[in-house]
Amino acid sequence: MKVITRAAEMEAERAAMKGRVGLVPTMGALHEGHLSLVRRARRDNDQLVVTVFVNPTQFGPQEDFAAYPRDLDRDLILLEAEGVDVVFAPTAEDIYPLGFNDWVEVNGPLTERLEGEFRPGHLRGVTTVVARLFRIVRPQRAYFGEKDAQQLRVVRRMVEERRLPVEVIGLPTVREPDGLAMSSRNAYLSPEERAAALVVPRALELARRMVEDEGVRDAAAVRRAAEELIRREPRARIDYVSVSDCETLEELTVIDRPALLLLAVRIGATRLIDNAALMSAGVESAAAAKGWTGARWTV
């Protein structure tokens, strides 16, 4: 496995690659969620590049950029074991040279709500860095997690709008046995907060049950039930609870199509996001035809 830190060197390495090139962009502090993307990408491609870059432009000034967990040595051991060909771990100066102004942005409703509303500039930072990594690595396929549902849709939109020659593949959220979505930020949680964080998967499961098992179609009722459950946990603060169209992420009044429940909840100083598919009888076949599956676990 090669470890490359300079963009020019990565470009030279890429130019010599033959066959299908897959890319998994990460910010490191790897867990099984990341590794599920790596494993799928390994199976699908001849060459596999994983990037490890804590992207400063997707953090707000009051956010956790400095504190974000970093352990490249451990990440490299994990990636080597998965048969990765190249790890590209660039410096910030290489990605953002002095005077950098080449922002890549998706405009419109997809980026105005949810993370776009609560983390101004975050999605622009994501699209900018992903576009730059695409330019340097030139992958045929790139892999992203459904865990960051809005990010995945925004990256897809960017690829469409700019006609980038990359196939974007979204993969299901990997969870701990008790339902908590794996996240590098879970490392911030104290044992008490870790227990409190279970309100997030519990709220998702409650909503899923209401829609799927009880046939509830009133989006406000689902939102309210999820909010009430979360509010019962004193350590939890809600940023948003949203029932949205699963593709456009527009807020729904009636759940009459494949939808997502999207949550952003702060537990102490740690902000967690998660989402679940709300499948309902009327829309099940349409969703299945799209290969769209709801996450299920027991809480």
The two structure tokens encoding residue 153: 């849709």
- Shortest distance, position 169 Cβ to ligand AMP, whole Å: 10
The two structure tokens encoding residue 174: 């990997």
The smaller minimum CB distance to ligand AMP, of residues 47 and 150, is found at 150
Q: How many Å apart are CA 74 and CA 52, to the nearest integer? A: 12
**131, HSE (Cβ side, Cα atoms, 13 Å):** 21
The two structure tokens encoding residue 297: 């676990």
Q: How many Å apart are CA 65 and CA 174, to the nearest integer? A: 24
- Shortest distance, position 172 Cβ to ligand AMP, whole Å: 7
The smaller minimum CB distance to ligand AMP, of residues 3 and 225, is found at 3
34 a catalytic residue: yes
The smaller minimum CB distance to ligand AMP, of residues 118 and 225, is found at 118
Closest CA to 238 of 209, 213, 274: 274
- Shortest distance, position 108 Cβ to ligand AMP, whole Å: 21
Q: What backbone phi and psi angles, to 5 degrees, belong to 101? A: -145, 20
**Catalytic site residue from 14, 34, 132, 271:** 34
- Mapping DSSP to helix (H, G, I), strand (E, B) and coil, where does residue 198 land? coil
Q: Which residues lie near ligand AMP (CB under 6 A)?
A: 26-27, 33-34, 36-37, 144-145, 147-148, 173-174, 181-184
- Shortest distance, position 151 Cβ to ligand AMP, whole Å: 6
**Beta strands per DSSP E along the chain:** 2-4, 21-26, 47-52, 86-88, 141-145, 167-171, 236-245, 259-267, 270-278
**Alpha carbon distance, N-terminus to C-terminus of the chain:** 40
The smaller minimum CB distance to ligand AMP, of residues 70 and 257, is found at 70
The smaller minimum CB distance to ligand AMP, of residues 154 and 283, is found at 154
Please give the C-alpha separations between residue 151 and each of 71, 106, 265, in angstroms, as whole numbers. Answer: 24, 11, 17
- Shortest distance, position 281 Cβ to ligand AMP, whole Å: 27
Closest CA to 30 of 182, 198, 195: 182
Closest CA to 256 of 297, 287, 294: 287
- Shortest distance, position 256 Cβ to ligand AMP, whole Å: 28
The DSSP symbol for 272 reads E
Closest CA to 260 of 173, 191, 174, 186: 173
The smaller minimum CB distance to ligand AMP, of residues 68 and 280, is found at 68
Where in the sequence numbering do the catalytic residues fall?
A: 34
